[in-house]
Amino acid sequence: MASDFAQLVKQQADIVKIIGDYMRLKKAGAQNFSGLCPFHKEKSPSFSVHATRQFFHCFGCGVSGDVFSFIQKIENVSFPESVRFVAQKCGIPLPKREFSSEEEAQEGRQRAKLLELHELATAWFEEQLRSPEGALAREYLSGRGLKPDEIKQFRIGYAPDSFHALRERLQSLADEDTLRLSGLFSFKAQEDGKPGPIYSRFRKRVTFPIANESGRVIAFTARALEAGEKAGPKYLNSPETPLYSKGNILFNLDKARQAIRETSFAVLVEGQMDCISVFLAGVKNVIATSGTAFTEAQVRLLSRYATRIIINFDPDTAGANAAEKSIALLTEEGFEVRVVTLEGGLDPDRYIREHGAQEYMTALRAAKRHSDYLIERARQLFPPSTADAKVKALNFLLPHIKRMPNRITRDEFATDAAQKLGIDSALVREELKQAAAKRRDSLAHAVPTLSEAEKDLLRALAAPVSDQACKAAMAGFDSNESYFEGLTVAPILKQLRHRGDADPMEAIEDPAGRSLLAQALNGEIEPVSAEHVTAALETLRRRYLERRRRELRAAVSEAERNGDTTSVVKLTAEKLALDRELREP
What is the binding site for Zn ion (CB under 5 A)? 37, 39-40, 58, 60-61
Of 223 and 304, the one with the shorter C-beta distance to Zn ion is: 304
Of 60 and 183, the one with the shorter C-beta distance to Zn ion is: 60
CB of 60 to Zn ion, least distance (A): 4
Quickly count: other Cβ atoms within 10 Å of residue 184's Cβ.
25
CB of 518 to Zn ion, least distance (A): 11
CB of 329 to Zn ion, least distance (A): 18
For residues 249 and 301, what is the distance between their CA atoms, to the nearest angstrom?
Answer: 8
Of 39 and 265, the one with the shorter C-beta distance to Zn ion is: 39
Beta strands in 250-387 (DSSP E): 265-269, 286-288, 308-312, 336-339, 368-369
For residues 455 and 467, what is the distance between their CA atoms, to the nearest angstrom?
Answer: 17
CB of 46 to Zn ion, least distance (A): 6
For residues 374 and 394, what is the distance between their CA atoms, to the nearest angstrom?
Answer: 11
Contacts of 325 (CB under 8 A, 6+ apart): 293, 294
Of 40 and 169, the one with the shorter C-beta distance to Zn ion is: 40
For residues 314 and 311, what is the distance between their CA atoms, to the nearest angstrom?
Answer: 10
CB of 367 to Zn ion, least distance (A): 31
Of 64 and 272, the one with the shorter C-beta distance to Zn ion is: 64
Side chain identity, residue 275: C
CB of 187 to Zn ion, least distance (A): 40
For residues 450 and 266, what is the distance between their CA atoms, to the nearest angstrom?
Answer: 40
195: β partners: 189
Of 518 and 556, the one with the shorter C-beta distance to Zn ion is: 518
CB of 332 to Zn ion, least distance (A): 16
CB of 455 to Zn ion, least distance (A): 22
Residue among 301, 300, 253, 410 nearest 43 (CA)? 300
Of 73 and 499, the one with the shorter C-beta distance to Zn ion is: 73
Of 56 and 382, the one with the shorter C-beta distance to Zn ion is: 56
Contacts of 81 (CB under 8 A, 6+ apart): 72, 75, 108, 111
Backbone angles phi, psi at 237, to 5 degrees: -110, 160
Sort strands 157-159 and 55-58 into parallel, antiparallel or unpaired.
Answer: unpaired
For residues 475 and 119, what is the distance between their CA atoms, to the nearest angstrom?
Answer: 57
Please, what sign has the CA dihedral across residues 305, 310, 313, 319?
positive
DSSP state, residue 347: -
